[in-house]
Amino acid sequence: MNNIITRAVWGALFVVIIISSFIVGTYAAATVLGFFMCIGVFEFYRFFEQSQIVKPKALSGILGALLLYILLTLNQLGHINFSIELVLIPIVFLPFLFVIFSQQKNPLLDLTVTFFPWIYVMFPFYLMFSIFNFEVVNEPQWTYIIGLFILVWTNDTFAYLSGRTFGKHKLFERISPNKTWEGTIGGFIFTLIAGGVYAYFMDGDMTFWIISAIVISPTSVLGDLVESKFKRIVNVKDSGTILPGHGGILDRFDAVIYATPFFYLLLRTLG
């Protein structure tokens, strides 16, 4: 019971922080997303802290991810008056020198793992901000980004509840033994309902939000499976301990990290 209460309290606090930052405004949203992004990148590098094979350049990777996030965000807001490539090129290509000067046995592997969270973590968080900053007409600025999070959280919650109640057939047992087809289908159905309800109360486009639910539900499940596979590869249970009862930031954002790029594509196409 204590674990359930702990999970509920910290989960509620997490939701309040995320939603509040979007409602407060642009700079609050950019700051909170950037903060969680940095923790997520840090957690990814921690996967390999006990590894004798891979030694990513964690500090350089975190600073590089933060600098890229800041530059891309400021550029999107129109606060950069020079060609952003002048900064992006050295940030991306200077780390290649690690291969020359590294004393490790696998410098190319080290470099690859150092770069990976820039794509896996930093870029989706930047796209979350892009979704928040998407031009809207006659709607609150946060309409699309909060809708994304609500659909992801709905899928996660009802997949878990449906799986606990009806689950019998394993979805992908060797990666995530607790996930079932029944839970996945239950999450999908309730995400569709949530999309319709959100469109109704936000006076939004019903077709858009139903299609969004169809896209977000399976990509959320895939995001969860991807992170579960990462943790199995490095033999860790949770990505971190920052959220008692939930694990780390990657554990909490795994679904939305993978769903975000696909929702962004949908938004750019239909929004």
Q: Which of 131, 93, 134 is nearest to 115 (CA)?
A: 93
* Residue that has been written with the tokens 């802290």 in this structure: 49
- Could you read off the pLDDT of 69-89 as tens digits, one per residue? 999 999 999 999 888 999 999
Q: In terms of C-beta density within 10 A (0-12 exposed, 13-18 middle, 19 or more buried), how is residue 246 classed?
A: middle
The answer to whether the beta carbons of residues 158 and 187 sit under 8 Å apart is yes
pTM of the model: 0.94
Cα–Cα dist 109/217, whole Å: 33
Retrieve residue 50's tokens.
């006990």
Angle between helices 26-46 and 107-117 (to 10 degrees): 150
Q: In terms of C-beta density within 10 A (0-12 exposed, 13-18 middle, 19 or more buried), how is residue 46 classed?
A: middle
pLDDT of residue 149: 97
Give the residue extent of every domain in the chain: 2-270
The 10 Å CB-count burial string (b at 16+, else e) for 102-112 is eeeeeeeebbe
Confidence of residue 165 (pLDDT cuts 50, 70, 90): confident
Confidence of residue 40 (pLDDT cuts 50, 70, 90): very high
